């Protein structure tokens, strides 16, 4: 009898193992991508209302989004959903929020009334406070962050909500090769204070990284496939010997090296914005629908694999795509109004593989239906191979069961 139970247990173990292997082969096409978010900008006069946006994100199984303010309509609409919000303190508010009392009032009026019904997971204090054109507000950054964190402590929310700030790559003096990464001398003091705060509060360092800009500025020197994550020879850092097959990972590692040069080697890095425009002006080389689709689709593929960079290969990192919608009121060149994966009417600007089961590329998404992340348009070969592997493992499973049943007890 004990042998029979042992045989049954063995059979169950084999079944579990084989089904686990099968789902490892196929589950990546049908899961939420926990490390992928999307930026939900609202600089437009024709965008859908927040409740429709919530339905769209839910249908796509996107469970993280970043907004550039604390819009009450968005915070209210996203209540009791599974989507985590990363909210923002507008740049112009930083000087006043250095005052702890003003920061406390901000938290008690902008955050506390909505939490925990609305899953607010992070507060971005400003956005790209240091750029090539303006650095007037950067001195307020860390004091404002400390005041807001202090207000979160007072209200009991600090255990649930992180405080950080998205940085432009302009904070780097050098980014190539990645091992040469270092901060500009004029921001090194602020960066040291910022990194100290992030270490103490266990919060990530966020970077807005756009390989598109590097390609646009030097299209004859930078290979397009390298910036699009397509197969290419890549580059090898001459000092670390790490091989990079895409520019985004090289940019992230340059930030990590820059932090290490200031004595901070243990802080997580995330990408708060990255994307590719589908349309641009005549001098905006590479701003096409085809390139935008390839870049964002390949980002999604990498996030599905939960991979890290060459410097931190075993540590995956969050990436927020920019952006959810084309925003018609954004100033600047044409590209600024054409980063969206979707048009304001909720039809796709192009297909990156985020498909609802009832959506199409020409009609609005039916947001009430169940949907999946499906890498359909360019994954036919991979799916065919996956089906072959599924048939293989199914045969192995049946053979194992057959052998166990035939053997006498």
Q: Which residues are known to be catalytic?
A: 128, 273
Q: Are strands 235-236 and 243-244 parallel, antiparallel or unpaired?
A: antiparallel
In sequence order, which ranges of 98-184 are alpha helices (DSSP H)?
Answer: 100-110, 141-154
Residues 251/211, Cβ–Cβ less than 8 Å: yes
Strand ranges, E, within 56-119: 64-66, 84-89
For the chain, the C-alpha Rg in angstroms (whole number) is 24
Measuring CA to CA, which residue among 30, 73, 35, 33 is closest to residue 54? 73
**How buried is 328 (Cβ within 10 angstroms: 0-12 exposed, 13-18 middle, 19+ buried)?**
middle
7 three-state secondary structure: helix
For tokens 């007890």, name the residue.
409
Tokens of 333: 């060149």
Q: Are strands 172-174 and 182-183 parallel, antiparallel or unpaired?
A: antiparallel
d(CA 253, CA 98): 31
Measuring CA to CA, which residue among 97, 46, 42 is closest to residue 70? 42
Count other C-beta atoms under 10 Å from residue 74's C-beta.
22
DSSP structure class, residue 11 = H
Measuring CA to CA, which residue among 349, 318, 322, 321 is closest to residue 336? 322
């Amino acid at each position: 009898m004990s042998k029979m139970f042992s045989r049954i247990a063995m059979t169950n173990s084999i079944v579990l193992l084989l089904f686990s292997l099968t789902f490892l082969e196929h589950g990546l096409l049908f899961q939420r991508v926990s490390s992928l978010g999307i930026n939900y900008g609202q600089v437009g006069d024709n965008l859908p209302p927040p409740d429709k946006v919530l339905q769209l994100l839910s249908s796509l199984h996107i469970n993280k989004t970043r907004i550039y303010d604390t819009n009450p309509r968005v915070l209210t609409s996203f209540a009791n959903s599974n989507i985590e919000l990363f909210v923002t303190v507008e740049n112009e508010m930083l000087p006043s929020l250095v005052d702890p009392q003003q920061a406390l009032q901000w938290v008690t009026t902008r955050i506390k009334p909505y939490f925990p019904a609305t899953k607010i997971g992070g507060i971005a204090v400003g956005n790209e406070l240091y750029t090539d054109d303006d650095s007037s507000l950067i001195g307020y950054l860390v004091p404002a962050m400390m005041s807001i964190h202090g207000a979160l402590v007072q209200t009991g929310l600090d255990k649930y909500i992180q405080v950080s700030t998205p940085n432009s790559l302009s904070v780097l003096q050098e980014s190539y090769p990645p091992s040469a990464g270092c901060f500009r001398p004029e921001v090194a003091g602020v960066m040291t204070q910022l990194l100290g705060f992030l270490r103490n509060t266990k919060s990530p360092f966020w970077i807005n990284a756009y390989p598109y800009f590097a390609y646009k500025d030097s299209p004859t020197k930078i290979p397009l496939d390298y910036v699009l994550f397509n197969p290419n020879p890549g580059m090898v850092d001459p000092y670390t010997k790490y091989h990079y097959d895409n520019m985004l990972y090289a940019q992230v590692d340059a930030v990590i090296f820059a932090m290490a040069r200031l004595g901070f080697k243990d802080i997580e890095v995330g990408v708060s914005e990255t994307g590719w425009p589908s349309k641009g002006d005549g001098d905006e080389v590479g701003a096409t629908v085809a390139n935008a689709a390839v870049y964002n689709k390949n980002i999604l593929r990498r996030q599905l694999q939960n991979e890290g960079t060459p410097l931190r290969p075993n540590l995956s990192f969050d990436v927020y795509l920019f952006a959810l919608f084309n925003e018609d009121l954004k100033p600047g060149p044409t590209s600024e109004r054409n980063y969206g994966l979707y048009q304001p009417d909720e039809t796709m600007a192009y297909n990156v593989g985020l498909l609802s089961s009832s959506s199409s590329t020409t009609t609005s998404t039916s947001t009430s239906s169940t949907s999946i992340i499906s890498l359909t348009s360019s994954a036919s070969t991979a799916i065919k191979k996956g089906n072959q592997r599924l048939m293989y493992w199914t045969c192995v499973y049946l053979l194992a069961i057959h052998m166990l049943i035939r053997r006498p007890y």
